[in-house]
Amino acid sequence: MSTKTDKIDRLAALTAQRETTTGGSLWVEAFRRLRSSKMALIGVAIMALFVVIALIGPWIAPHNPTSQLWRDEVFTNRGEFVGPRGENWLGLDHLGRDQLSRMLVGARQTLLVGVISTVLGFVVGALIGGVSGAALAFGGRAGQRLDTVLMRFIDMMLAMPSLLLAVSIAAVMGQSLTTVMIAVGVVQVPIFARLLRGSMLSQANADYVLAARALGVRRRRVVMGHVLPNSLGPVIVQSTLALATAIIEAAALSYLGLGNPDAAQPEWGVMLAQAERFFDEAPFMAICPALGIIVTALGFTLLGESMREALDPKLRS
Amino acid sequence: MPLLSVDELKVTFQGQGRRASTAVSGVSFDVDEGQVVGLVGESGCGKSVTSLALMGLLPKKGVRVEGRADYRGTDLLSLRPSAMRDLRGTQLAMIFQDPLSSLNPVVPIGVQVTEILSRHRGMRGQAARDEAAALLERVGIPDPTRRLKEYPHQLSGGMRQRALIAMAVACAPRLLIADEPTTALDVTIQAQILELLKELVDQEGTALLMITHDLGVVAGLCDDVNVLYAGKVVESADRRNLFAEPAHPYAHGLLNSIPRLDAPRGQPLNPVRGSINDQIAWADGCAFAPRCDHYTLECLEGAPELGPLAGAGAPAGHQVRCVNPVRERLETVTLADVGAGDDSPAEPVTQKEETSE
């Protein structure tokens, strides 16, 4: 008798449990899958480390990143660079500045350029792509024309090699940090625009859009409430990948001498550019910032890739 | 005057640099207030295109829609898009085939239901949510307040279709178009959904245009049936007359092809031979002639007209588009079987036959 009531209690407990488990939305599901992916965790860890360094870098730097040493202090007796040693873990650069301190302080600048330029590219690109996609799918003949105009403009931007485009923008606008951000951001615009437009067009033919239209839902509401939320997934994934390329492109611009004119201000790309001349004698000068850029870019890419996988409709339960 | 009167509806798809293809070539039928009308035919016969054309949901580009569809005195086909949008949901509503893809996967059910209420009835906030819960309750979804917060993938197939029906009837439309609403569902759920549709139609006096290829659904639900072939109505009759005495060879073949449970083992099935072919135009004669067992040379002299079934004892309102209609009562289906569908919608049409000893 007691076993029977036990069983009933257990069953009741089970059913009660099932009532309370509320599976979440697409994004909650995706987050759950993301949490169980090693790739995503590594990516997030690298990103977090990078962000923390960018925030507190100036305070934990052992030396002043801009203070220089005399020539005889920089070079050892045989005229060689000072490599990693107890006082300077990553050695000194050609002006006797502490490499580790420069790396730590430079992270902030690198992150700033990456994030702001990506946000810029995302906002402008999504705006153009969103308007274009909505116009083509729901705007009738006038919308079709608007889409054509916008997309040919985007195609023109895509036709230029991205670095060349960034270099020309930086060259026209003059040397400043803002220029770097704008140049790198503009390069991202066509990618975001094309991606969102394509994503929206594929959603515009979905059954639920037809079903919503069959019940008289207004076009504005169909676009904002149905098509857009379903189209943003790939664009958000792209933005993490774009962040990685933005850092690399910003570094490339600095390397080409189009970056921040204040050369004393440490930045990974600038450091790499300055190390070029001494690559034979002092490879560590180049290796440190290069590794920094590679690892950071890898972190963002890992996160982006695993987000893409987590949001993949084929894996959705 | 009928609620909806479709007259010579013709839909042509004209791709750039491609030959125009006619999906619907002159379909006419009426739907009265509170009536359930079936539109039956195999894949590619123009059923879904007809319904989309009536709702004004076909793409504008590359599609030509001709004819008239009078709904309470206004022609749906020539209505401005904005006026049509106001009619959709309030006067006309539609239920689609696949309940999963017809719901937005990233938006909770509640938002999708209240969106209709705010669009057409101006309801906002808590009032809209309460009304949405009441609607879900009405279509038989248990615990509606919880379901409102859930996403489509958390609901079962039957429940999703119920939610879609709730959205469709949210503003008490006068005409509901159901495009194969049970095709994607299990047989048991099919029966429940058909029961629900029937109940709603009976209670509200809503007219239902049922688009299906399932003769079982027709037997259980429809008052009048139009059989479509290659974009034309080939037979139009009262349900009982159609099942008892299908006059068009195509309808006859369809009903004859339903396998019987009591058939002796090893007896071959009777399919309608061949398959639908859109290369054959009605202008050259009967489009069904190549698949027909009864065709004569007369069949190839222009398209036959849809006319009343001739002969003694032919029921009124039974129309057929054939020069040599089949005049034989089908032994496989009896009136009692079809009539039985009144209380059990999904019952197969070919059950054990009472007249055979």
Per-residue pLDDT reduced to its tens digit, B51-99 = 999 998 888 888 889 999 999 989 999 888 889 988 998 999 999 988 8
Of A206, A212, A216, the CB nearest to B101: A206
> Does residue B154 belong to the interface with chain A, where contact is any CB pair within 8 Å?
yes
Nearest chain A Cα distance for residue B51, angstroms: 11
A72-76, A115-119, B304-308, range with the lowest pLDDT: A72-76
The C-alpha atoms of residue B163 and residue B169 are separated, in whole angstroms, by 10
Instruction: Provide the residue type at B273 as one letter.
Output: R
Q: Which helix (H) or strand (E) holds B207?
A: strand B207-212
Q: Cα dihedral sign for B159, B164, B169, B171?
A: positive
Eight-class DSSP state of B272:
P
Question: Rounded to whole angstroms, how far apart are CA atoms B249 and B154?
Answer: 46
Question: What are the Cα distances from residue B223, in Å, to A181, B93, B207, B243, B245?
Answer: 69, 20, 11, 12, 15
Q: Report chain A residues whose CB lies below 8 A from the CB of B116.
A: 215-217
Rounded Cα gap, residues A158 and A152, in angstroms:
10
> Is B133 touching A (CB cutoff 8 A)?
no
Largest CA distance in chain B: 68
Q: Is the dihedral of CA B13, B18, B20, B24 positive or negative?
A: negative
Contact by Cβ (8 Å): A298, B135: no
**Chain A within 8 Å of B67 (Cβ-Cβ)?**
no
Partner A contacted by B122 (CB < 8 A) = no
Interchain pair A216, B98: CB under 8 A: no
CA distance linking residue A94 with residue A75, whole number of Å? 8
Report the distance separating Cα A225 and Cα A80, nearest Å: 65
pLDDT band at A313 (very low <50, low <70, confident <90, very high): low
Between chains, do A211 and B164 touch, taking CB under 8 Å as contact? yes
Residues B185 and B161 sit within 8 Å (Cβ to Cβ):
yes
A30 → chain B, closest CA residue: B106
Contact B280, B290 (CB under 8 A): yes
pLDDT per residue over A21-61, tens digit each? 444 566 677 777 778 888 888 988 998 998 898 888 888 87
Identify whether A48 is part of a domain.
yes
Closest CB to B102 among A23, A208, A218: A208
Pick from A208, A235, A315 the residue to mutate for testing the B interface (most B CBs within 10 Å).
A208
Contact assignment for A225 to B115 by CB distance below 8 Å:
yes
What share of chain B in percent tops pLDDT 70?
89
| Residue B297: half-sphere exposure toward Cβ, Cα within 13 Å | 0
Categorize the per-residue pLDDT at A19 as very low, low, confident or very high, splitting at 50, 70 and 90: very low
Rounded-to-integer distance, Cα A239 and Cα A300, Å? 9
**Residue A207 belongs to a domain:** yes
Asked if residue B217 lies in contact with residue B346, where contact means CB atoms within 8 angstroms, the answer is yes
- Residue with structure tokens 């140049």? A183
pLDDT computed for residue A24 by the predictor:
55
The structure tokens listed for A55 are 């925030």
ipTM above 0.95, yes or no: no
Name chain B contacts of A214, Cβ cutoff 8 Å.
Answer: 55, 57, 88-89, 93-94, 96
> From the CB of residue B335, how many other CB atoms can be counted at a distance below 10 Å?
13
Which chain A residues touch B94 with a CB distance below 8 Å?
211, 214-215
| List of chain B residues whose C-beta atoms are within 8 Å of the C-beta of residue A25 | 106, 108, 151
In the prediction, which pLDDT does B315 show? 74
- Top residue of B115, B120, B165 to mutate, by most chain A CBs within 10 Å, is B115
pLDDT band at B113 (very low <50, low <70, confident <90, very high): very high
Asked if the Cβ–Cβ distance from A26 to B106 is below 8 Å, we say yes
Distance set, CA B252 to CA A113, B241, B307 (Å):
74, 12, 17
Suggest the residue from A207, A209, A210, A215 to mutate for an interface test with chain B (most B CBs closer than 10 A).
A215
**Residue A68 domain-assigned (yes or no):** no
Contact B170, B120 (CB under 8 A): yes
Structure-block tokens of residue A256: 């080409």
How many structural domains are present in chain A? Answer: 1
How near does any CA of chain A get to the CA of B263, in Å? 41
A26 and B85 within 8 Å at the Cβ level: the answer is no
Q: Are residues A186 and B139 in contact, defined by beta-carbon separation less than 8 angstroms?
A: no
* Region for B230 from its dihedrals, namely left if φ exceeds 0, alpha if ψ lies in -120 to 50, beta otherwise: left
The per-residue pLDDT for range B261-279, each reduced to its tens digit, is 787 888 888 888 877 766 6
Domain residue spans of chain B: 101-172, 242-340
Contact A216 B154 (CB under 8 A): no
Q: Are A240 and A300 in contact (CB under 8 A)?
A: yes
CA B116, B120, B125, B127 dihedral sign is negative
What number is the average pLDDT over the span B328-340?
53
Instruction: Grade residue B209 by pLDDT with cuts at 50, 70 and 90.
Output: very high
* Exposure of A284 in the CB half-sphere (CA atoms within 13 A): 17
Q: Is B167's Cβ below 8 Å from some Cβ in A?
A: yes
A224 to chain B: closest CA residue: B107
The closest alpha carbon to A168, from A153, A154, A184, belongs to A184
Min Cα separation B105/chain A (Å)? 7
Cα angle at A33 between A29 and A37, to 5 degrees? 165
Closest CA to B185 of B156, B206, B211: B156
Q: How many CB atoms lie within 10 A of CB A83?
A: 15
Which range among A45-49, B174-178, B182-186 shows the weakest confidence by mean pLDDT? B182-186
CA B134 vs CA A19, A30, A189, B141: distances in Å? 21, 32, 46, 10
Cβ distance B105 to A230 less than 8 Å, yes or no, reads: yes
Chain A residues near any Cβ of chain B (below 8 Å): 22-27, 140, 206-208, 210-218, 221, 225-226, 229-230, 316-317
Q: Does residue A16 have a pLDDT over 70? A: no
Report how far apart the first and last C-alpha atoms of chain A are (Å, whole number).
41
Give B357's pLDDT tier (boundaries 50, 70, 90).
very low
Nearest CA in chain A to B153: A317
Question: Pick from B104, B116, B151: which is nearest to A215 by CB?
Answer: B116
Would you call B14 helix, strand, or coil by DSSP?
coil
Mean per-residue pLDDT, B192-211 = 90
More confident residue, A259 or A46: A46
Residue of B nearest to A28 (CA): B106
* Beta-carbon separation of A208 and B85 below 8 A: no
Looking at residue B81, its pLDDT comes to 87
Q: List, as own/partner pairs, every contact residues B75-80 make where C-beta atoms lie below 8 angstroms and the sequence separation is at least 24, other chains included.
A: B77/B9, B77/B53
**CB A217, CB B89: distance < 8 Å:** yes
d(CA B347, CA A195): 49
CATH (domain of A188)? 1.10.3720.10
Two tokens at B183?
């095709």
The whole-number average pLDDT for the span A220-239 is 86
Enumerate the residues of chain B whose CB falls inside 8 A of the CB of residue A211.
Answer: 94, 96, 102-103, 164, 167
Assess if residue A9 is contained within a domain: no
pLDDT, position A39:
85
Domain of A154, in residue numbers: 26-52+91-315
Rounded Cα–Cα distance for residues A6 and A8 (Å): 5
Within A57-188, strands assigned E span none
Contact at 8 Å (CB) between A272 and A93?
no
- As beta bridge partners, residue A239 has none
Q: For residue B102, list chain A residues with Cβ-Cβ distance below 8 A.
A: 207-208, 210-211
The Cα–Cα gap between B178 and B198 comes to: 12
* Amino acid B97: pLDDT: 87
pLDDT at res. B312: 62
Name the residue facing A217 among B108, B119, B164 (closest C-beta): B119
Mean pLDDT of A66-82: 63
| B86 closest CB neighbour out of A207, A216, A226 | A216
What phi, psi does A308 have (nearest 5°)?
Answer: -60, -45
Instruction: Please determine, for residue B256, whether its predicted confidence score (pLDDT) is greater than 60.
Output: yes
Q: How many CB atoms lie within 10 A of CB B140?
A: 17
Residues 6+ apart with CB under 8 A from A152: none
- Measured between CA atoms, how close is A118 to chain B, in angstroms? 25
Does residue B94 belong to the interface with chain A, where contact is any CB pair within 8 Å?
Answer: yes
Residue B83 contacts A, CB cutoff 8 Å: no
Q: Read off the pLDDT band of A80 (50, 70, 90).
A: low
Better-scored residue on pLDDT, B259 or A212: A212
Q: Which residue has the tokens 């509170």?
A: B34
B235-247 burial, b for 16+ CB within 10 Å, e for fewer?
Answer: bbbbbbbbbbbbb
Q: Do A214 and B105 make contact, defined as CB atoms within 8 angstroms?
A: no
DSSP B288: T
A212/B107 Cα distance (integer angstroms): 12
pLDDT of B121-150, one tens digit each? 888 889 999 999 999 998 889 889 999 988
pLDDT over 50 (residue B345): no
Rounded Cα distance between B290 and B351, Å, is 31
Mean pLDDT calculated for residue range A240-255: 81
B121 in reach of chain A (CB within 8 A): no
Least confident of A94-103, B5-14, B179-188: A94-103
> Which residue, B102, B220, B234, B74, is CA-closest to B160?
B102
Q: Which amino acid makes up residue B59?
A: P
Give pLDDT, residue A303.
85
Single-letter amino acid code for the residue at B194:
L
Q: Evaluate whether B321 touches B337 at the Cβ level (below 8 Å).
A: no
